[in-house]
Amino acid sequence: MPDSEEGFTFKEIRSRGFSCPWHFHAENELILTLHCPGYRMVGDDLTELEAGDLVPLGSNLPHIWQRDEGKPRQRGPVHILIVQFEENFLGRDFWKIPATRALRQLLKRASVGLKFTGKTRESVARLMSDMRSASGLRRLALFLTALEALASSSEGRAIASPGYIAELSPFNQERMERVLRFINERLDQPIRMGEAALVAGLSAGAFSRFFSLHSGRTFPTFVNQLRIGRACRLLAES
């Protein structure tokens, strides 16, 4: 359980040396990305990050938020707001209340991740911003208001594929993180699948199957998608 008086954990990340590995955990999360040029991977979905990206994630859903190492550091630190909470952070009896039906459905939908846009994103972003200076009952009230806004909104769409099932292995978690770090550090260089297989400690054939299972795409497709995303960002900013 979190050590905060609200029963959940609120984090504000401001860092030039940001690192979020490919991982999963039992807690649910609500993540607001204010600034992080790069990409996020949720389940089998790979998407370029944009300012204002608002994503609730269900329990044990593998994910990574990756800053593009090819971006100049002087463009400012990563800025992300995160709420982590266990499903029963208000007690099991809380979910027996009829009024929480929409919240139960929200957590069920978030099992594959949800991206919210429009007025919902704007209102929840304001609430999360207000949570930075709040504490105790006030912070709890703001969080519940944010959850209610998400639960009653029609502006959320699923992120990972509907049939996505995570392979929850701590060993594979660490192996996948090594491979993703290897790719990100060498994105502006030739990257051979055989080299990535060595990083993972697998044969070429086993690595191909492993990577497709965990990323939802082949290794060359994944690398090319990241390179196209970087090129698009550089063109947009130049």
pTM, two decimal places? 0.82
| DSSP single-letter state for residue 23 | B
Q: 168 pLDDT band (50/70/90 cuts)?
A: low
Question: Inter-axis angle of helices 193-200 and 170-185, to 10 degrees?
Answer: 140
For 48-59, write each residue's pLDDT tens digit. Answer: 899 999 999 999
Mean pLDDT of the chain: 87
Instruction: Give yes or no for residue 74 having a pLDDT over 60.
Output: no
Instruction: For strands 156-158 and 9-15, give the pairing.
Output: unpaired
Helix ranges restricted to H, the chain: 101-109, 118-131, 136-151, 170-185, 193-200, 204-215, 219-237
Residues 6+ away with beta carbon under 8 Å from 92: none
